[in-house]
């Protein structure tokens, strides 16, 4: 009964499972990045994102209150407080970094200069000495189980303290025109290559296909020299034109393949009715080519949004021109240990491409497969 019309192939289930596996491989890390971006630094360093909803054990290095916070209790000078900022339970504690579990909660330890220290199970600590504390206060090393904690401070630091808010606007300023301009130019070119007869059309089509495999790195320096000669180097106009030029071959290729597959009868009927080529393009071709236009818009937007090389070459890396990928690169260098900041920064960076992709993904396959089947 195999290979009979109307029956499903035995490979359907394997294909579905493969697609599901690919979706999970793409979705799970993204979800993990989102969860990590809301966790605090200590918990993120001590447990994975899949343990975010459970209590976690972590080693805390806590410096007691400053000398200015001490108070006199009879003949003793006392500094007290809590080693746990957001609740939890102390399992053990110590007075040296070599042994975080030297003492049980409630035990009393003697530190240097005759200072007595104790840490309770609820995190309350007390340091007492026969003379006033001077200089830096002692450190306590605590092993505690803390409940799950989520915070918006990571996003506040990223958007307002790390300059990502400014770079977000810079990226939008680069990406939107660099997506719209090549679509406008490529739509006219694709229509001409698909439906207009003129000498050299086949050669132009072959050139466009050949440009698809040319690395953009080959043209960076010559194009930058040209921009500097024209006076548009290190300006938004220069990077708009650069992104447009790099994206035009793919745009023309996709749109031309789609427009060739449109019904010839519609266009011929419009010409019989007296429509000009521009009217046919504007009122018939463009509305029917929306899936292909949206398909390329997704590719161009994602590529431009995530670009760093072209932005550095044609726009620069000053604070008022740096794009989001440039800020993230600097965070990797200066904030390498602050994973919560990196997670929040990364998710802010991918949030807009995710919205664009899911809003227009239904047109993606239709635009890519158009013209492949006659």
What CATH number is associated with residue 218? 1.10.3720.10
Write out the chain in H/E/C secondary structure.
CCCCCCCCCCCHHHHHHHHHHHHHHHHHHHHHHHHHHCECHHHHHHCCHHHCCCCEEEEEEEECCCHHHCEEECCEEEEEEECCCCCCEEEEEECECCECCCECCCCEEECHHHCEEEECCCCEEEEEECCCCCCCCCEEEEEEEECCCECCHHHHHHHHHCCHHHHHHHHHHHHHHHHHHHHHHHHHHHHHHHHCCCCCHHHHHHHHHHHCCCCHHHHHHHHHHHHHHHCCCCCHHHHHHHHHHHHHHHHHHHHHHHHHCCCHHHHHHHHHCCCCHHHHHHHHHHHHCHHHHHHHHHHHHHHHHCCCHHHHHHCCCCCCCCCHHHHHHHHHHHCCCCHHHHHHHHHHHHHHHHHHHHHHHHHHHHHHHCCCCC
321 and 177 both lie in a single domain: yes
Give domain status of residue 4, yes or no.
no
86 and 185 both lie in a single domain: no
Nearest to 295 by CA among 371, 346, 348: 371
214 and 70 both lie in a single domain: no
139 and 182 both lie in a single domain: no
Residue with tokens 């749109």: 255
359 and 231 both lie in a single domain: yes
Please identify, among 89, 119, 147, the residue that sits at the C-terminal boundary of a domain: 147
How many CB atoms neighbour CB 135 within 10 A?
7
Taking the CA of residue 26 as centre, how many other CA atoms within 13 Å lie in the half-sphere pointing to its CB? 8
175 and 273 both lie in a single domain: yes
Tell me if 256 sits within 8 A of 205, measured CB to CB. Answer: yes
Position 332 scores a pLDDT of: 66
Please identify, among 115, 130, 147, the residue that sits at the C-terminal boundary of a domain: 147
260 and 116 both lie in a single domain: no
Give domain status of residue 374, yes or no.
no
Dihedral sign, Cα of residue 305, residue 309, residue 313, residue 318: positive
Range of the domain at 60: 56-147
Please identify, among 147, 170, 188, the residue that sits at the C-terminal boundary of a domain: 147
111 and 212 both lie in a single domain: no
167 and 126 both lie in a single domain: no
Pairing assessment for the beta strands 124-129 and 116-119 based on DSSP bridges: antiparallel
Give domain status of residue 2, yes or no.
no
pLDDT, averaged in runs of 10, over the chain (374 residues): 54 83 86 87 80 83 84 87 83 85 88 86 89 85 86 83 78 93 93 87 89 84 88 88 91 89 86 87 87 86 90 82 82 68 82 81 61 44
Q: Rounded CA gap, 281 and 116, in Å?
A: 86
14 and 130 both lie in a single domain: no
Q: Rounded CA gap, 125 and 106, in Å?
A: 9
The number of domains in the chain is 3
Give domain status of residue 341, yes or no.
yes
Position 304 scores a pLDDT of: 92
Residues whose CB is less than 8 angstroms from the CB of residue 71 and which lie 6 or more positions away in sequence, other chains included: 77, 78, 79
Give domain status of residue 286, yes or no.
yes
358 and 305 both lie in a single domain: yes
Give domain status of residue 5, yes or no.
no
Give domain status of residue 250, yes or no.
yes
Nearest to 138 by CA among 147, 146, 129: 129
Give domain status of residue 357, yes or no.
yes
**Which residues does residue 92 pair with via DSSP β-bridges, in sequence order?**
143
Long-range contacts of residues 168-174, Cβ cutoff 8 Å, at least 24 apart? 168/324, 168/348, 170/315, 170/320, 170/321, 170/322, 170/323, 170/324, 171/305, 171/323, 171/324, 171/325, 172/352, 173/236, 174/236, 174/239, 174/240, 174/243, 174/304, 174/311, 174/315, 174/323
pTM above 0.75, yes or no: no
For the record, the structure tokens of 120 come out as: 């309770």
Tell me if 117 sits within 8 A of 126, measured CB to CB. Answer: yes
175 and 201 both lie in a single domain: yes
């Amino acid at each position: 009964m195999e290979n009979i019309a109307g029956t499903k192939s035995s490979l359907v289930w394997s294909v579905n499972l493969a697609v599901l596996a690919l979706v999970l491989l793409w979705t799970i890390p993204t979800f993990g990045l989102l969860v990590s971006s809301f966790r605090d630094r200590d918990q993120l360093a001590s447990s994975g994102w899949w343990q975010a909803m459970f209590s976690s054990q972590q080693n805390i290095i806590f410096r007691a209150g400053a000398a200015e916070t001490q108070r006199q209790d009879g003949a003793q000078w006392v500094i007290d407080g809590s080693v746990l900022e957001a609740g939890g339970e102390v399992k053990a504690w110590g007075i040296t970094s070599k042994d975080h579990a030297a003492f049980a909660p409630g035990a009393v330890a003697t530190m240097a200069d005759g200072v007595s220290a104790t840490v309770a199970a609820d995190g309350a600590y007390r340091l007492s000495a026969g003379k006033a504390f001077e200089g830096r206060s002692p450190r306590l090393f605590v092993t505690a189980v803390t409940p799950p904690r989520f915070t918006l401070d990571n996003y506040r630091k990223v958007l307002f303290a790390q300059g990502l808010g400014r770079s977000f606007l810079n990226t939008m300023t680069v990406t939107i025109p660099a997506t719209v301009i090549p679509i406008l130019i490529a739509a006219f070119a694709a229509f001409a290559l698909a439906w207009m007869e003129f000498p050299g059309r086949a050669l132009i089509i072959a050139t466009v296909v050949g440009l698809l495999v040319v690395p953009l790195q080959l043209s960076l320096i010559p194009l930058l020299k040209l921009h500097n000669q024209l006076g548009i180097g290190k300006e938004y106009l220069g990077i708009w034109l650069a992104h447009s030029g790099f994206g035009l071959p793919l745009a023309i290729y996709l749109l031309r393949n789609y427009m060739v597959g449109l019904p010839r009868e519609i266009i011929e009927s419009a010409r019989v009715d007296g429509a000009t080529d521009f009217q046919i393009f504007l009122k018939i071709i463009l509305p029917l080519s929306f899936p292909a236009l949206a398909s390329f818009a997704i590719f161009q937007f994602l590529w431009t949004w995530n670009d760093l090389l072209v932005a550095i070459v044609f726009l620069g890396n000053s604070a008022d021109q740096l794009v989001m990928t440039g800020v993230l690169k600097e965070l990797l260098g200066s904030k390498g240990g602050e994973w919560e900041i990196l997670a929040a920064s990364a998710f802010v960076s991918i949030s807009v491409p995710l919205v664009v992709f899911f809003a227009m993904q239904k047109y993606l396959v239709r635009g890519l497969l158009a013209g492949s089947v006659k």
